[in-house]
Amino acid sequence: MRINDMQRVACKRAAAAGLPFAIWRKPFGGDFTALISTSQPTLAPVFGGAVQPGFVMAPFVTEAGNQAWTLPADVLITESGLRYRDGSRLVETPTTEAQATLTDPDSAIPDSLPAPEGAAPTATDRDSYMARVARAVETIRSGACDKIVLSRVEPRDLPADRDLLDMAEGLAALHPHAFVSLVSSGATGTWLTATPEILLARDGHGLRTMALAGTQWPEAGTDITRLDWPRKIIDEQALVADYIRDAFAAEGFEGVEETAPYTVRAANLCHLRSDFRAPRGDDDVALGRLLERLHPTSAVCGMPKEPAMDFILQEEGPTRHFYTGYLGPRDLDGTTSLYVNLRSANVVGERIYLHVGGGIVAASDPATEWQETVEKTKTIAAVL
């Protein structure tokens, strides 16, 4: 699970030049992929628009869920070698001077990969978060919502001797089940992520997504197949699955297969999950509409979506930014893999801002919900 020397050098050169880059490791994968753009990202459709290999990133709040910031794959570096973008194709030789400079062995190599300065999100202390949970419970019990997902921000100092690429590499080693990435651009900021949740993936085998909800933090060595889930968590996960099932049906996708809920481990946490698969289909417009329905999922927003979103924006304001949005590679070798941006942190200068949250239902206890967010900070904090 190493970031190779060529990938490190290209990412450092990109950061030094103010160019966007993304580097990631897929779940249970062994190698990283690095992508460098020679221009700033643009807002474009993920499905149904011009085919362009790249990496996409969408915030929690969007005007259209199928629109995301796209980092073109001008330079793509894998363990098997280098490729360069030529229109919608990836070729083996540079097509521009900027592409050639990023991978020129004789070009200067920066000493480090600094995070750019930017606007810092607002932190939330324990008492404020617990009061917010209590207000959410009151809103739910009034009948306005069935579930509201809340989040908070916890700032930490970034260790002076830690390189962001080392941190991404460390996350990949600690969390083999996760999609681990480091993404940086002027439009998105710099984000370090180790997420367990697929939003929507398409490859030669078809479409995939999942309904993931509920959290426990059992002691080390616990047999997770024997974990008991309280009724409130079972119901919460069922709400997410119902929404996904209805979204596929509304857009005319047939042959959708669904597993029964089962327990999965994600770092020190466990969740309740069910998987969905569907035939690939060739209607990108319908797939774009499906993505519109899925993002943001009820697992990161709530149910019903509109009143839950209204409550979140009133209570949290714009603090989430790209947290609980989505990100991932698009149209690379016929595969698009979009992941919910969970277990993530925004790096601004010398500080790192951990974003965590949880689903609130009528039976939620504010102190327990606070502790759940504390447990979730450990995913990223493990490499600090």
135 backbone φψ class: left, alpha, beta (φ>0; ψ -120 to 50): alpha
Alpha-helical (H) ranges within 182-304 are 231-250, 284-294
Name the 3-class secondary structure at 98.
helix
Domains for the chain: give ranges and CATH numbers: 5-381 (3.60.120.10)
Contacts of residue 81, Cβ cutoff 8 Å, sequence gap at least 6: 92
The pLDDT score that the predictor gives to residue 384 is: 86
The pLDDT score that the predictor gives to residue 248 is: 95
Q: Residue 140: phi, psi to the nearest 5?
A: -65, -45
User: Which amino acid does the sequence have at 91?
Assistant: V
pLDDT at 216 over 90: no
When the pLDDT of each residue in the chain is averaged and rounded to a whole number, the result is 93
| Other CB atoms within 10 A of residue 375 CB | 16
* CB contact at 8 A, 251 and 228: no
Q: Which residue has the higher pLDDT, 63 or 182?
A: 182
Q: Maximum distance among all alpha carbons in the chain?
A: 66
pLDDT at 281 over 80: no
Helix axis angle for 231-250 and 284-294, nearest 10°, is 150
